[in-house]
Amino acid sequence: LNLVKGGGGALLREKMVEVCADKFIVIVDESKLCEGLGPGFPLPVEITPFCHEHTLRTVAALPSCAGSDAILRMGSSSSNVNDGDEIAVTDNGNYIVDLHFKEPISDAPTMATELKNTVGVVDHGLFCDMTTAVIIAGSDGISVKEAEAKAPLSQDELKKMVGYKSVDDYVESGMVVGLGTGSTAYYAVERLGQKLKSGELKDIVAIPTSVRTKEQAESLDIPLVTLDTHSKLDVAIDGADEVDPDLNLVKGGGGALLREKMVEVCADKFIVIVDESKLCDGLGPGFPLPVEITPFCHEHTLKLIANLPTCAGCDAVLRMGSSSSNVNDGDEIAVTDNGNYIVDLHFTEAIKDAPGMADELKNTVGVVDHGLFCDMTTAVIIAGSDGISVKEA
């Protein structure tokens, strides 16, 4: 039930009104039904008058619009049949480019996104995922077709969305890229490998933040370096276990907090990728705070941490079993990639002063580092039930 609308030139105002409706009912005769959008009716794209010929060429060159014939609408804006010598002007003072396709549009939602993200494009006539029902008049009478309810995206699908977007939006050829660790960062690494293989990205080197990320990157033929040779990164991408309103983070549930912080603090941009379940009003209660400590006299260090003024009331638990999970799953003390131990701090109330706690933990002898990442985030890409949003620092 995706639509092409705007033959009459009112696509922008139609979309602005109809996207706000709880129910959007489409009324057509059966001649408007098709197997695929495009060949049966030109797709209108409303553009700004400024440098309109440039925008027309930009639209025609979009990958999703390949093969289309882009024609500037002339005469009346209410008809896509050119009926005059003057450029057609919409009620909004804009121009319209009509895209004529010979083949059906293979991915209407992707084309919609690509068009909308093009500078100079105001909006377009693809109305995707908006329709509640279509009432159809045909030779046999009237029928109604309702949109099928979509199953909510799984957590893995949400993670893939933000992982891919982080690379698409923030990684360019020639960059030094920090690769995070965890189930969300996995998809950013996967996407980087895809774009290098296709040739869309070139001359990239990357710094992994854990052994398992290194192994994944190597399997995808991503060139790897270390901080020893590249101490300045263009961008680092990683997930987080919690994100507060100030974009302070708790990280390290997967045990790689030290290497993550060493890499990500060196990046010009640190992009965090999460699903909306990781957002919180205050760090602490939703996810234990990991603290990496030296094995030497580890019980002594654990007690020191638990008695810090900023950690008052927490339950300090030594991580057991696998270092990549804060759920104890073995009888042996968990050991990080760096040969250290992890203490997980469980809070029942929100941490009042995350930067203050970060300083106090870091200044404790025996502590290597901790999972509070304060004042480091450039932007957080968030996948939610309503799509993807970006929150910038």
Amino acid present at 221: D
Specify which residues 267 forms β-bridges with: 233
Residue recorded with tokens 């289309």: 68
Residue recorded with tokens 């404790």: 364
Q: What are phi and psi of 318, to 5 degrees?
A: -70, 130
Catalytic residue selected from 46, 114, 242, 260: 260
| Catalytic residue flag (residue 260) | yes
Nearest CA to 177 among 217, 119, 148?
217
Neighbours of 346 (CB within 10 A): 15
Q: What is the largest CA-CA distance in the chain?
A: 86
Q: Is the dihedral of CA 225, 231, 235, 236 positive or negative?
A: positive
DSSP assignment string, 158-222: HHHHHHHHHHHHH--TT-EEEE--STTHHHHHHHHHHHHHHTSS-S-EEEESSHHHHHHHHHTT-
- Residue 327 corresponds to which tokens in the numbers above? 């759920």
Cα separation of 333 and 61, whole Å? 57
Catalytic machinery residues: 260
